A = this chain, B = another copy of it.
Amino acid sequence: MSADQLSRVFAALADPTRREIVSTLALGDATLVELSEPHDMSVQAVSKHLRVLEDAGLVTRSRDAQRRPAHLEAEVFDLMTKWIERYRREAEQRYQRLDALLKETKPKRGAKR
């Protein structure tokens, strides 16, 4: 929906550490310390990454005593794929039209608006 959320989702996945977190969570929910173990950085740093994923709506967190298990929200991926597919399809169609055109005539691309 909002351009803002789309921006946050793309920005969240632009970081390799956060993509690894996502790939871990795809295998099952996990706590902060569990998510931190594979990474060579402080727990606080991973906590910040998790927060970014949460703000983007890619991750939700529940409560289990002092633990806060993180859970991957797969639906948000659809936001991206829809956006991507739209422009990929347009670009491909345009490419095919151009291709067809080239087979007939030698067009002079009129650049003006």
Query: What is the count of identical protomers in the complex?
Result: 2
A101 at interface by CB-CB < 8 Å: no
* Residues of A in contact with B, size category: 35 or more
Which one, B6, B10, B64, B78, contacts A11 given CB within 8 A? B10
**Residues of chain A having any CB pair with chain B under 8 Å:** 3, 6-8, 10-11, 13-16, 19, 22-23, 25-31, 34, 37, 64, 67, 69, 72, 74, 77-78, 80-81, 83-85, 87-88, 90-92, 94-95, 109, 111, 113
Query: 4 closest A-B pairs (Cβ-Cβ)?
Result: A11-B14, A10-B14, A74-B91, A26-B90
- B10 near A111 with CB under 8 A, answer no
Cross-chain contact A26 with B111 (CB below 8 angstroms): no
Q: List chain B residues, Cβ under 8 A from A25.
A: 91
Contacts of A88 in B (CB 8 A): 74, 77-78, 81
* Minimum CB–CB distance for A75 against chain B, Å: 9
For A15, the closest partner residue in chain B by CB is B7
